[in-house]
Amino acid sequence: MAPNMSLFSVNAILLLTTSDSSRILTRYYSPPHIPTNAQNDNYPGANPYKTQKDQKAFEKGLMDKTAKQTSDVILYDNRVVVFKMESDVMMYVVGGAEENEIMLYNVILALRDSLNILLKNSVDKRTLIENYDLASLCVDEIIDDGIILETDPVIIASRVSRPPAQDVPNMQGLDLSEEGLLKIYQFGKQKLGERLRQGL
């Protein structure tokens, strides 16, 4: 009999500071589809860290365990954990005990490399907090509900990055008189008509 097949593979992504194990960005995931034979959240892949107290205890223990490690992959609390350190930030990807370590390792590399691209090689606590929106979007582009979507850092960075400043329209020379607004309305109406004709 084949095991339950699922795309769900990541239990958590954590970005913690190395100095005091404080959180920068944490995401915990539970499988979107609970098996029919599951009883009271005790099914394989269920996230046992439901409260913030449980999550912080897990994060502190994980930081203590990985502080002196030389490898990038460990087994902690019956979970496979891959991690990387950048400056004063530890990045973790947590999966179930049966997950493929290489796949999880590709996720941590994608996270590290895309953050390096987006933050111009300055991935540290201060920069991550100042650019929390980019880091959060980066995690969302890699993982959705525990399912790995993308691991190419260039594609992730291009989806997340802000538009260049020269593409922002100049609002200073805008005529807001009645005549100016009428011209804008006519222009928009003309462009909409052209687009509708092209679509037919």
User: What is the CB neighbour count within 10 angstroms for residue 110?
Assistant: 24
User: What is the CB neighbour count within 10 angstroms for residue 42?
Assistant: 8
| pLDDT tens, position by position, 4-15 | 567 888 999 999
Domain boundaries in the chain?
A: 12-160, 174-199
| pLDDT tens, position by position, 83-110 | 999 888 999 999 988 888 999 999 999 9
Share of the chain above pLDDT 70, in %: 82
CB 55 within 8 A of CB 28: yes
Model confidence at 1: pLDDT above 50: no
DSSP string, 41-56: T-STT--S--SHHHHH
Q: Full-prediction pTM beyond 0.85? A: no
| pLDDT tens, position by position, 61-82 | 988 888 888 888 998 888 899 9
Nearest-angstrom CA–CA distance, 119 and 3 = 41
Could you tell me which CATH class the domain 12-160 is placed in?
Answer: alpha beta
